Amino acid sequence: MTLYQWRRFTFKKKLRIESLRIQNGLTIRGLAELSGVSKTAIGDIATGVKTSINKKQVQGFCKAFNCNPEDLFE
């Protein structure tokens, strides 16, 4: 799946944001600065409160973790 196929994606698989953040030694603040995604959104995604993610957030997380969109999901 390319980034161009993403608009807003409601995910059924768990996002790996929290484990990738810890694996890369980032704080929530650090991830927010690198990805351009707000600290609140990161926390909501990590805890499962937020159940959708948009293209800009996917691109930001991929940039911060240097990964492909598929790598964000378990």
Q: Catalogue all structural domains in the chain, each as residue range(s) with its CATH number.
A: 3-67 (1.10.260.40)
Residue 61 near residue 16, CB atoms below 8 Å: no
Q: Give tens-digit pLDDT for 4-50.
A: 445 555 555 678 899 999 999 999 999 999 999 999 999 998 888 88
Strands (DSSP E) along 7-69, which ranges? 8-10, 52-54
Six token digits for residue 22: 């810890």
Alpha-carbon distance of 13 to 52, in angstroms, equals 11
Coil vs helix vs strand at 73? strand
pLDDT band for position 57 (cuts 50, 70, 90): very high
Coil vs helix vs strand at 33? helix
